[in-house]
Amino acid sequence: MRSFIDEEKIEKLLREVRPDKVRVREIIQKAISKKRLEPEETAALLNVEDKAHLEEIFSGAKKLKQDVYGNRIVLFAPLYIGNDCTNDCVYCAFRKSNREAVRKTLSGNELIKEIKTLEAQGHKRLILVFGEHPRYNADFIAECVKLSYATKYGKGGEIRRVNINAAPMAVEEYRKLKKIGIGTYQVFQETYHRKTYEKCHPSGKKADFFWRLYSLDRAQEAGLDDVGIGALFGLYDWKFEVLGLLAHAIYLEEKFRVGPHTISFPRVKPAHNTRFPKGHEVSDEDFKKLVAILRLSVPYAGLILTARERPEIRKEVIEVGVSQIDAGSRIELGGYSDQLDEQQIDREQFQLGDTRSLAEVMCELMGNNYTPSFCTACYRLGRTGEHFMEFAVPGFIHNYCMPNAILTLKEYLEDYASNGDKEIGEDAINKAVQELNSKSVLKETLARLKRIEQGERDLYF
């Protein structure tokens, strides 16, 4: 098969494109106008080393994020369902050759227990994570999704949207997931560099570079028009991977008229009894730079920052374009209901850098003038695929996102927040309400806030 990743072109751009001050500013201004960048333009930003020019990149990314998404941050929780795996990825603690990994697949009752624990904290959005194994087929995933939606806890505890991170499937399998009503379907290529991919994935189904590369084509053909892409930074040159992600976004746009809903950019982290290729580690400084450049390169896409990173890094990187984070995360199988004090590395795929509770992360976000959001309205109203692109590309999605973020934050404060956090949250809501630029939306938002105070739930635009 032929890859849409032109490695020679990418390497040539990184080798030959040398930006000057005028060109850098032109590219940033194009991005701020909400136009997706071309590979040559992104390569120019990637090769910026001058500190003053870097600050312009960071400032441009901040402005673009504010214009498209406002100051809201969407929150979710990852929930690992099973870690049986037939692959042997060198960087992963769940690889089949790691005999020290504690293997487990949640039963239905165990899954319910995990979900109720998350709902009791205030979570409304999940991403279910599965190993690559025949037992985790489309039917099994569909049953987990149905159980997630059906499980309720207390007055307002419910999961309103379930996203999926699972192995690539055939079209007919994807159709089953479409029918059951999943949100975003994620497949990360890990690395877009072919030789590095082969070295890092020596056996198992995942060794097939092209089966994975074209997995989202099959998802689109099955009607799953809301997809997420990602690369695992640290396996190969981070600049190459940024251009690989951009190439993937452009390919999806051109073939399906739908770019990725989300882009993820996790860094390789220590994992139990696991070694990974050295030589391509990404420094904190370069990590911040790559996030800002991704924001400028694909303005409409949500950028997901995970709890792999330490709190201080998350705080800094969120500023330059992140729109989604996980919070209160535990990635041990059964880790939420176990309520462990310390990470159990033999039960994890990798080590987390941020193990703070959802309440702690919420409090920090609100104190830093962000509006935490549990919104799931776009999925449930059909604002996905081309319809989502119509709103997201010109930046109109902001008109829905901010009022919905305010309403879901109000729900959280009413149902889960302590008195101190509630005071901080009400202040955050008051500030966010003042930034709504439509009088009619403002009026309706204020009316719905009152209705939530009176006991109504799940109000959204």
Domain residue extents for the chain: 7-65, 72-382+384-390, 393-453
pLDDT at 341: 78
Find where tokens 């690369």 sit: 231
Measured CA to CA, the distance from residue 360 to residue 325 in angstroms comes to 13
Which residues have CB under 8 Å from 208's CB, separation 6+?
Answer: none
pLDDT at 347: 93
pLDDT level of residue 398 (50, 70, 90 thresholds): low
Taking only the tens place, the pLDDT of each residue in 5-50 is 999 999 999 999 999 999 999 999 999 999 999 999 999 999 999 9
- How much is the pTM? 0.96
CATH of 72-382+384-390, one of 3.20.20.70, 3.30.2010.10, 3.30.450.20, 3.50.50.60: 3.20.20.70
Taking only the tens place, the pLDDT of each residue in 180-197 is 999 999 999 999 999 999
The answer on pLDDT for 331 being more than 90 is yes
Among residues 44, 34, 43, 36, the alpha carbon closest in space to that of 65 is found at 34
pLDDT at 362: 97
> Average pLDDT in the 216-235 region?
97
Taking only the tens place, the pLDDT of each residue in 83-135 is 999 999 999 999 999 999 999 999 999 999 999 999 999 999 999 999 999 99
pLDDT at 339: 83
pLDDT at 355: 96
